Amino acid sequence: MNTFGRTLGGLMSGLLLGGCFDGGHASSKDDRLQIVMMQPPRSGLTPLSDDAFKLSRWNTAETLVTLDSQGDAMPGLAIRWQPLDETHWRFELRDGVHFHDGAPLNADSVVHALNVAARATPKPRILDGVTLTAVADGDHAVIVTTLQADPLLPQRLSSPQLVILSPAAYRADGTLDPRRAGTGPFILNNIEGTSAAHLDRFDDYWGGKAQSAGIDVSFVPDGVARAAALRTHRADIVEAIPVSQVSLLPPQEVHEVPMPRTNTLYLNTRTGAFRDPALRALVASVVQRQPIVERVYEGRADVAKGLLGPAIAWAAPLRDRQLPVEATVPAPANGKVITLATFSDRAELPEVAVMLAEQLKAAGFEVHQVVREYAHIESDALVGKFDAFILSRATVLDSGDPLAYLYSDFSCHGSFNLSQLCDAGIDQALQSAAGLAPGSARREAIITAERQILATHAAIPLLHERVLQGEREGTQGAFRDPRERQLIGLDTKSGSAP
């Protein structure tokens, strides 16, 4: 595996000066896509981490199941499935699929991939609270067993963290190498640390031949540099254009995508000032959302009334029907010292932190701020080193269902519990929702759990984002995916291609 610790400083300078975005790889070929992404790999592009979504967006690795625009399960590497009973499901595999290294997709390779993910430490967050095993049923089918009934299992297996890689990708020392290991239309051939990645077309792809000869990816945390890449036509597609840069770009090259993504203030309930529910209630009572939306996001966001935003259309009507929870009475801050942290990869978040710090100071807190790149702050946030943390969080990223996000972030055993929250009532509400089949009853139960989480003030939702995706004029076929799973497809072509 490569070492992923190189600094981006030199790259940033080059980008701002109009330097090369493709690492010198096939820069003269007009039929290759040039992509600028916001966050560099944090775990060597292993699919068992959030890096999985890069593999998915580049269309290099695939899952058994995909999701349609409504979040319903659709065929992927599995063509059909059925429950055998409450805890056993049978998935029939697609014929004629090969990995990029030439190995055939079969039941054994799928079983190995799923069982590695199920045994991983930490688990992929889509498997939080789930005990899963897979066994082969002949050469072309697998049976997946869960310890408890899991009616959401097909949607769960659509998570990019559960992509199926070639057996050769799984090394004896427990590491994973995703290069030349997927089944998608593009082969991941080269990873240049945290600066770049290069993919080439896989001509034997089961779904047909891609229009583009390959993809050159640059990782650019700096939002101004990303916008400059689009403005100077050094990139075909750019992730997450900062709001502050929109006015400098041609309007036809910026596309607003409503996202199931919430900008949330997480408060540490285990240590520090916010162990006190009354101080958390004080923060909830003084936070002013509208000025943040207007001044930082220039109106290109929605004020949050809950954790689940307008991109999840069913949430607001159900929330309005919920009975209110008895409110905690706020206590005075009395000069309590708190540390408010966030990351710089999303250009708006440090500005949000400045505004929130002023609001909290006005309420009587002494506020110290910490801002770093996400790769350098995530581990500290996860172990509760900050009193408060501002995060932009996708709420249906994994399964198309927000319950996985709620469990990951707010259950006692959740793998992404920035608030360090552990509440037996909330865990029970989440478990109750998990036992229901997709549909109205499950949605009602999810909103009930959301109401209980909000009542703790462990998380204070601020706003729901609309991500701005840049596409060079002439670029064709790029996905504008609210779930941030898809970006490049078979028909995606460069804006410089003939």
SS3 277: helix
The yes/no answer on whether domain 1-59+184-236+472-498 falls in CATH 3.30.70 is no
Distance CA 477, CA 461 (A): 34
Q: How far apart are the first and last CA of the chain?
A: 37
| Domain spans of the chain, in order of start | 1-59+184-236+472-498, 61-171, 258-466
Distance CA 182, CA 113 (A): 11
Q: What is the assigned CATH class of domain 258-466? A: alpha beta
DSSP string, 447-485: HHHHHHHHHHTSEEEEEEEEEEEEE-TT-B-----TTS-
Query: What is the reported pLDDT for 29?
Result: 55
Superfamily (CATH H level) for 61-171? Dipeptide-binding Protein; Domain 1 (3.90.76.10)
The pair of structure tokens assigned to 376 is 């350098």
Q: Do residues 302 and 309 touch, judged by C-beta distance below 8 A?
A: yes
Query: What is the reported pLDDT for 325?
Result: 77
Distance CA 45, CA 178 (A): 7
Q: What is the pTM of this model?
A: 0.73
Query: What is the reported pLDDT for 383?
Result: 96
pLDDT tens string 58-82: 999 999 999 887 778 899 999 999 9
Query: What is the reported pLDDT for 498?
Result: 65
Chain length of the chain: 498
pLDDT beneath 70: ranges in the chain = 1-30, 397, 498
